[in-house]
Amino acid sequence: MQNDSGYKLPDDFLWGSAVAAHQLEGAWNVDGKGVSIADVMLAGENHVARQVTDTVLPDGNYPNHRGIDFYHTYTQDFDLFKELGMNAFRTSIAWTRIFPNGDEDEPNEAGLVFYDQMIDSMIEHGLEPVITLSHFEMPLHLVKEYGGWRNRKVIDFFVKYAKTVMTRYGDRVKYWLTFNEINNQTSWMNPHHLLQDSGLKDCPEEQAQELMYLASHHELVASALVTKAAHEINSALEVGCMIAMNPVYPATSNPKDIMMSQRAMQTRYYWGDVHALGEYPTWLLKYFEQKNINIDITEADKKILKENTVDFVSFSYYMSWTVSDPENPLYEYDEEKNHGDNPFLAQSDWGWQIDPVGIRYAINWMWDRWHKKMIVVENGFGAFDKLEDGMIHDPYRIDYFKNHIKSVEEAIVLDGLPVFGYMPWSGIDIISASTGEMKKRYGFVYVDLDDFGKGSGKRYKKDSFAWYQNVIKTNGTEL
């Protein structure tokens, strides 16, 4: 067979798709839900960052308020996923449905009931739930009153929220992810990331880097405490970190570029080191000293981190990057400044470089460093799709997936590495996280809504739907 990859994957391999609550649920203020960071972000567009408002404006254009109305449509959407043949589904719990302000004593029962029903429905549809606890949306109240993750108190609020949901759903949900793309904060000059990932608002530029490391430290301690709690609640639960994986290649064979790319990888992935190895890397502790960065890593913190490493590493992969900065004697990496185009790679309409080999490279790199089993929880192609006569022809998406899945299979079969699932972003079209657009589409299912929420909301199967259906049916043998 022409499309036969020739690779045989394990029978229990998880084939799914992945989304995040704030990008599709809508229903932003119903059943007692509080306001989250995502609820105060206006739409941006390609190369125009999303603006953050302080409170909800009456007529603001907040795409996350409506999402694709998944809050009310998930049963029908799961019917489509079942037809596709998926056996797993990743979504997040909106913290603000459970603790609307983040610091209440008691959880909001209506929010808990909503996820009870959604998780039951997933299981009825044959979908193994993979749940993210925090996907870019902490309660706005915690940002305003406590300063977000820069405040150690937020650790307790998060652990309480996590324990509440893991206790409630632990009989049905085995796989838990703590913080989505925790390392996206490396772009510490990018206020969008700082706010979404760590709730750092009003962050003076000269303090941004120190606050980023401080907030990250609190998240890392919280993540370890949640891992500990999960194992105490039910020893069968497994907790993973979630890393945004972009291999950073040297632009040339100039040793200075090689050194820079190594430092870029060390900088971007130290969060993985702490999660998987239980300690900060030596170079970074030295860097803190040199830069006078004081984040108060206590002896108790060190013990918690060391004793509660993650059970697995989950990661997103969209593209690789290329770095060159031979005039930077300290090799300080700044992802906003140091990147260049890779002449060997094509780009998406949003300038994301398409590099299927990079995902195999990344899986090998992570295994060599962290020695934890892995799962791909995001990979996909954002594109303009056209609905014509009820059909969407998306050969570019099929092409992207074909090459990336093949590369994941090579990592599993040829390199022998433990990757236990593949969950492309986003199964169904949803709101883009970085731009707030609807027109940047990732799904196998098209949703008839535009950037302003206009349209029928009707779902249509794209050509990639039948293609992915066959991939799953043949367990990745036919691509």
Residues that bind ligand BGP (CB under 6 A): 20, 180-181, 244, 316, 378, 382, 425, 432-435, 440
User: 137 or 325, CB closer to ligand BGP?
Assistant: 137
Closest CA to 246 of 222, 276, 272: 272
Q: Which is nearer to ligand BGP, 382 or 453 (CB)?
A: 382
CA distance from start to end of the chain: 10
User: The tokens of 70 are what?
Assistant: 């998944």
Least distance CB 68 / ligand BGP (angstroms): 13
Q: At closest approach, how far in Å is the CB of 130 from ligand BGP?
A: 13
- Structure tokens given for 46: 């390609």
Is the Cβ–Cβ distance between 437 and 28 less than 8 Å? Answer: no
> Is the Cβ–Cβ distance between 241 and 309 less than 8 Å?
no
CB atoms within 10 A of CB 273: 16
Measured from the CB of residue 61, what is the shortest distance to ligand BGP in angstroms?
Answer: 17
Choose between 101 and 187: whose C-beta lies nearer to ligand BGP.
Answer: 187
Q: Give the nearest distance from C-beta 431 to ligand BGP in angstroms.
A: 7
Task: Output the CA torsion sign for 137, 139, 145, 149.
Answer: negative
CA gap 55, 34 in Å, rounded: 12
CA dihedral 184, 225, 20, 161 (to 10 degrees): -130
In the complex, least distance from residue 339 CB atom to ligand BGP, rounded to whole angstroms? 16
Q: Which two tokens stand for residue 347?
A: 């780009």
The CB-of-350 to ligand BGP minimum distance in angstroms stands at 7
Which residue is catalytic, options 378, 409, 410, 437?
Answer: 378
**Would you say 107 or 356 has its CB closer to ligand BGP?**
356
Query: Closest distance between ligand BGP and the C-beta of residue 180, in Å?
Result: 5
Q: How far is the CB of 196 from ligand BGP (least distance, A)?
A: 9
DSSP 391: B
Query: Is 378 considered catalytic here?
Result: yes
Amino acid at 148: G
Nearer to ligand BGP, 50 or 402 (CB): 50
Q: What is the DSSP string of 447-475?
A: E---TTS-S---EEEBHHHHHHHHHHHTT
Half-sphere exposure of 171 (CA within 13 A, CB side): 3
Cα separation, 245 vs 264, in Å, equals 12
Cβ nearer to ligand BGP, comparing 108 with 184: 184
Specify the amino acid at residue 468: Y
Residue (212 or 433) nearer to ligand BGP, CB: 433
Report the nearest approach of ligand BGP to the CB of residue 241 (Å).
13
Please identify, using beta-carbon distances, which residue of 9 and 131 lies nearer to ligand BGP.
131
Nearer to ligand BGP, 331 or 352 (CB): 352
What distance in Å separates the CA atoms of residue 452 and residue 198, rounded to the nearest whole number?
28
Q: How many whole angstroms separate alpha carbon 169 and alpha carbon 361?
A: 35
Which string of DSSP letters, residue by residue, matches 323-389? E--TT-TT----TTTSEE--TT--B-TT--B--HHHHHHHHHHHHHHH--EEEEEE----B----BT
Residue 245: which of 89, 398, 355, 401 has the closest Cα? 355
**Half-sphere exposure (CA, 13 Å, Cβ side) for 283?**
13
**Residue numbers annotated as active site:** 378
